[in-house]
Chains A and B, each alone.
Chain A
């Protein structure tokens, strides 16, 4: 059994959180509130030390006055709290939207639209490996059928009916995969906690 007090604190807090499985109780509430408080404290100190100090206050202290521009832009966000000068908040928001749009729109098109379209299109190279070729055809059918399912400008009758039915099947397979992976993720987290309790705390496993 471990003699490190931090391991004991971690183990007891884990058990307090697990006690919610029985019912809501003061031990669970204590651990929950402690977590929120510690997390807030951590973030405030972390951002002060690692973001505001090195990126703003230290350069300003060294006489680099150009850093007054981001300081002013940041302070303008707080203008929302004073109705008379509330309009000032539009300046940093406009700046952020302009910068964000300029940086992101071309990148989004390239990475998420063109590249994904390229991955869906079948070319002779897709069949260099038979299995890859079969998957390429399945992906193309899946994409088209799923898009048809979400096409609501025309009633799903005639050819649109079976195609959209096939589309919903692909969507269901996607949901199934997501559900399976989610179950696996949640079980993994439980296994991690049990490994902590049985390993570092009780020393029963390696």
Chain B
């Protein structure tokens, strides 16, 4: 929980209608059960606090998933919106820039100009024509870049944009990757981290606890099954060790 709480607290500390939260959607359909609930929970948190969101992707499999995450959250919140001001609008409250090739050059160039790297957004609109992008020129206008990824992208965000421009980095990772990234938390290079379905469930729990949404997400329900499977595996490991102990003792005696 502490690393998820740190990410949640960081997003909580961002003033509303100020800098954007940049979310890099870099997960794939294979890892959707772990990373997609993170994206949904993060978007709900940002929109509930009136923090604009800027989405982008560097993994070729991610754009469809990113668009689905935005649509799911925006449709849900707009259905609940009581008036025009409460509604979310593309270009004003959120923008999805789409996919770009050449990761290293792209993330470094965004320090100078985001519109220079993404002249058009995912839907083909000129980026300069979008109100959100008129006040979001480069990393100076980004409060934190949160990388939702199933591969090594988070460490490259630390390596390039953070080293050169001091960008704050948060991460949402698959559980397999998590142990490798704990040192980045300890050094403060990550401002927070969600690890696997557990991390997504913790974030869902935190936004429900804070009253931003009433319904828990897919990760929280998945963790019930996860806990039962863990208990089963622990039991099997203990039984296996007991069996090994007795078989070794029998061998010694004979």
Q: A188 and B34 in contact (CB under 8 A), knowing A55-B101, A111-B163, A195-B222?
A: yes
B160 interface residue (CB < 8 Å to A)? yes
Q: A107 and B31 in contact (CB under 8 A), knowing A119-B183, A188-B226?
A: no
B196 interface residue (CB < 8 Å to A)? yes
| Docked complex: A58-95 residues within 8 A CB-CB of B | none
> A191–B98 Cα gap in the complex (Å)?
29
Chain A contacts of B33 at CB under 8 A?
Answer: 188-189, 191-193, 195
Q: A119 and B187 in contact (CB under 8 A), knowing A50-B99, A103-B104?
A: yes
> A139–B186 Cα gap in the complex (Å)?
10
A181 interface residue (CB < 8 Å to B)? yes
> A193–B33 Cα gap in the complex (Å)?
8
> A192–B155 Cα gap in the complex (Å)?
26
Min CB distance, B89 to chain A, in Å? 26
B79 interface residue (CB < 8 Å to A)? no
> A34–B225 Cα gap in the complex (Å)?
30
Q: A187 and B189 in contact (CB under 8 A), knowing A55-B101, A181-B196, A192-B33?
A: no
Which residue of the partner chain A has the closest CB to B158?
Answer: A111
Number of interface residues of B (CB under 8 A): 41
The answer to whether A115 and B101 have CB atoms under 8 Å apart is no
> A46–B189 Cα gap in the complex (Å)?
33
Which residue of the partner chain B has the closest CB to A106?
Answer: B163
A25 interface residue (CB < 8 Å to B)? no
B218 interface residue (CB < 8 Å to A)? yes
The answer to whether A189 and B183 have CB atoms under 8 Å apart is no
The answer to whether B101 and A187 have CB atoms under 8 Å apart is no
Number of interface residues of A (CB under 8 A): 38
Set A112, A178, A185: member contacting B34, Cβ < 8 A: A185
Chain A contacts of B195 at CB under 8 A?
Answer: 181
Min CB distance, A159 to chain B, in Å? 27
Set A110, A111, A181: member contacting B179, Cβ < 8 A: A181
The main secondary structure of chain B at its interface with chain A is helix
> A191–B159 Cα gap in the complex (Å)?
33
| Docked complex: A125-168 residues within 8 A CB-CB of B | 135, 139
Min CB distance, A43 to chain B, in Å? 6
Chain A contacts of B186 at CB under 8 A?
Answer: 119, 135, 139
B69 interface residue (CB < 8 Å to A)? no
A177-206 near B? 1/0 per residue, CB < 8 Å: 110011111011101111100000000010
The answer to whether B189 and A111 have CB atoms under 8 Å apart is yes
Chain A contacts of B176 at CB under 8 A?
Answer: 178, 181-182, 185
> A127–B107 Cα gap in the complex (Å)?
36
The answer to whether A195 and B196 have CB atoms under 8 Å apart is no
Q: A115 and B179 in contact (CB under 8 A), knowing A107-B164, A184-B198?
A: no
The answer to whether B226 and A189 have CB atoms under 8 Å apart is no
Chain A contacts of B230 at CB under 8 A?
Answer: 183-184, 187
> A193–B31 Cα gap in the complex (Å)?
11
Chain A contacts of B198 at CB under 8 A?
Answer: 184
Chain B contacts of A108 at CB under 8 A?
Answer: 159
> A191–B224 Cα gap in the complex (Å)?
10
The answer to whether A191 and B187 have CB atoms under 8 Å apart is no
> A115–B99 Cα gap in the complex (Å)?
30
> A124–B158 Cα gap in the complex (Å)?
26
Q: List 17 A-B contacts (CB under 8 A).
A: A103-B104, A107-B159, A107-B163, A111-B163, A111-B189, A181-B175, A182-B176, A184-B197, A185-B175, A185-B196, A188-B175, A189-B33, A191-B225, A191-B226, A192-B32, A192-B34, A195-B221
Given contacts A104-B159, A189-B30, 8 further A-B contacts (CB under 8 A): A106-B163, A181-B178, A183-B233, A184-B226, A185-B176, A185-B196, A187-B225, A192-B34
Closest 7 CB pairs of A and B: A192-B33, A119-B187, A185-B175, A188-B197, A51-B101, A181-B175, A185-B176
